[in-house]
Amino acid sequence: MDKDIKVTLKVWRQKGPKAKGQFETYPMEIHQSVSFLEMLDILNERLVKEGKEPIVFDHDCREGICGMCSLYVNGHPHGPATGATTCQLYMRRFQDGETITIEPWRSAGFPVIRDLMVDRSAYDKIMQAGGFVSVNTGGVPDANAIPIPKKDADLAMDAAACIGCGACAAACKNGSAMLFVSAKVSQLALLPQGRVEAARRAKAMVAKMDELGFGNCTNTRACEMECPKNISVSNIARLNREFLKAKLKD
Amino acid sequence: MWLLNSSIGRKLVMSISGLFLILFLLFHLCMNIVAVFSGEAYNMVCEFLGTNWYALVGTLVLAAGVLVHFVYAWILTMQNRKARGNDRYAATARPKGVEWASQNMFVLGLIVILGLILHLSHFWANMMLAELAGVHGEIAPTDGAKFINFYFQGNIVNTILYVIWFVALWFHLTHGFWSAIQTLGWNNNIWLGRWECISKWVATIICGLFVVITIIFYVNGVGA
Ligand code: HEM
Ligand code: SF4
Ligand code: FES
């Protein structure tokens, strides 16, 4: 049964990108049925009433689809739950008396803007480099007009579940964005409409990822274990395949 | 050059050089197995290799392989530290399913290098180098079997140092082998688990045999 619990929040506070940050501690009494982000809302209301600066954190949809809620909770991106975003995290995951450490993503590719909010636009830039289909695919075809094997459709669908949240790079000791890039390359490379530009896309997205300073993947699988959408590292193998094939053809 | 400028290109070099080193380990293992059964046969192999041109070329290629692997490991590791950024997490937890070895490949590699230096000082310096330089001590540079007995038979310090070396190599290979396959793109949902399992077997067979053979040398020396 959910009950009221007392927790201690250790929250990273940082006034701006260049400012030196530090942890602030906030005691919190909260019901376990409250979501993690609602708890931060309640804390912020309290801070405003006390005349203090509220904690800045990113969020939007609060239903696990936008990928904004980039919080590193107790050593895990998106907190201790697997296959869930921070906004899908509830306080029943925590024990009475627990200390909860909340940090921003820490990766050179995602500089802190303020408090817990980081600049995740690097992933947008990677998308802009090639994460789209620009060939003319005509009007909307009839369903099943282009036969696609169920296996490929499933793999493409699984890869397309990526919400671009950045947890992969945040979890990776190498600050590598490979899981994200591989999901985006895969979801298109597996389908006929995306296949046409697969080689160019893989090269362009990898080049952009490298240019933005993300690290080299050493296959630790931390990304996959922390990904809220359970994106598999087999996508990384596919990206490697696509990339190497494209380069060897050049 | 994309083998240097692109992250996947760099990983490709890492992967090929690593697989090449594994192939060499297999070859070296065969020689050790020969020595277990017969010191004489082992010396025939040593003599056959000796300082012939093909052994010298082989040594140079091998040295280049180690050098490339090491230099790329260094570049990769430095870039990755930079990509991680200067600010570290206060709370960290290794997620389930992440192998310790996979996050410590560079440190494990350094231990492997230290073991390699010790090993080269024991054998290569006394054999190929000594023969090339034309200076040697009491044991003839072609008498590999005698060197094995000299360094291992009843020598607990060397035996333990070598076993530590092989354990580090074991960790390195448990991750390294499947990681190399993954880097080549030769993986999918079904083979992911299989390759990881095969990787552990590859590491265990190679390093396990090296350890067993070292202990045999410690107890018995080379075969009669
Ligand atoms: C007999 C010696 C060695 C063998 C057989 C070996 C084998 C391998 C293999 C197969 C890989 C996987 C490549 C990939 O992920 O694509 C690897 C990766 C790596 N090795 Fe080695 N290695 C050896 C020595 C070394 C040394 C001396 C170092 C340097 C300190 C080193 C550092 C690394 C690093 C940092 C990686 C990257 C981790 C990764 O990408 O998975 N290794 N090694
Ligand atoms: S791969 Fe997973 S962790 Fe990475 S951005 Fe996509 S959803 Fe987030
Ligand atoms: S707020 Fe949209 S995914 Fe969490």
Residue A230 contacts B where some CB pair is shorter than 8 Å: no
Distance from CA of A138 to the nearest CA of B (A): 32
pLDDT tens profile B5-23: 999 999 999 999 999 999 9
Enumerate the residues of chain B whose CB falls inside 8 A of the CB of residue A112.
87
Q: Does A8 touch chain B (CB under 8 A)?
A: no
pLDDT of residue B215: 97
Mutation site, A14, A221, A233, A247, interface B, largest B CB count within 10 A: A221
pTM: 0.95
What's the pLDDT score for residue B50? 79
This model of the complex carries an ipTM of 0.94
- What per-residue confidence (pLDDT) applies to B96? 87
The pair of structure tokens assigned to B114 is: 């230290």
Best to test chain A binding among B84, B99, B194 (most A CBs inside 10 Å): B84
pLDDT value at A185 more than 80: yes
Q: Is the CB of A19 under 6 A from ligand 3?
A: no
Q: How far is B10 from chain A (nearest CA, A)?
A: 8
B193 C-alpha to ligand 2 centroid (Å):
21
Which of A175, A210, A236 lies nearest to residue B6, judging by beta carbons? Answer: A210
Give the residue carrying structure tokens 């107890």.
B219
Rounded CA gap, B2 and B6, in Å?
5
| Yes or no, beta carbons of B90 and A103 under 8 Å apart | yes
A123 touches chain B (CB under 8 A): no
What part of A 28-67 touches B (C-beta under 8 Å)? none
Given this model, what pLDDT does residue B100 score? 95
> pLDDT of B158-210, one tens digit each?
999 999 999 999 999 999 999 999 999 999 999 999 999 999 999 999 999 99
Strands A22-31 and A4-13: antiparallel
For A189-234, the pLDDT digits (tens) are 999 999 999 999 999 999 999 999 999 999 999 999 999 999 999 9
Residue A102, C-beta contacts closer than 8 angstroms, at least 6 positions apart = A9, A10, A11, A12, A71, A72, A73, A116
Q: What is the DSSP letter of B139?
A: S
**What is the pLDDT, as a whole number, of residue A45?**
98
Q: Closest to A226 (Cβ–Cβ): which among B12, B95, B185? A: B95
Interval B31-57: pLDDT, tens: 999 999 999 999 999 888 877 899 999
Helix residue ranges per DSSP H, chain A: 36-49, 121-130, 150-160, 167-171, 178-189, 192-195, 198-211, 222-226, 234-249
Pick the CATH number of B2-87+98-220 from 1.10.3470, 3.40.50, 1.20.1300, 1.10.12: 1.20.1300
Distance from CA of A217 to the nearest CA of B (A): 8
**A8-41 per-position pLDDT tens digit:** 999 999 999 999 999 999 999 999 999 999 999 9
User: How many residues are present in chain B?
Assistant: 224
How would residue A171 be classed by pLDDT, with cut points 50, 70 and 90? very high
**Residue A1: pLDDT over 90:** no
A75 phi-psi bin (left φ>0, alpha ψ -120 to 50, beta other)? left
Please list, in sequence order, all residues whose beta carbon lies within 8 angstroms of the beta carbon of residue A160, skipping any fewer than 6 positions away.
A183, A187
- Given this model, what pLDDT does residue B137 score? 86
Reported confidence tier of residue A143, pLDDT bands at 50, 70, 90? confident
**Ligand 2 center from residue B223 Cα (angstroms):** 57
The mean per-residue pLDDT over the stretch A37-59 comes to 98
Query: How many Å lie between the alpha carbon of B61 and the closest alpha carbon of chain A?
Result: 24
Separation of A89 CA from ligand 3 center, angstroms? 10
Q: Tens digit of pLDDT for each residue in B127-158?
A: 999 988 888 888 999 899 999 999 999 999 99
> What whole-number distance in Å separates Cα of residue B137 and Cα of residue A84?
67
As beta bridge partners, residue A90 has A35
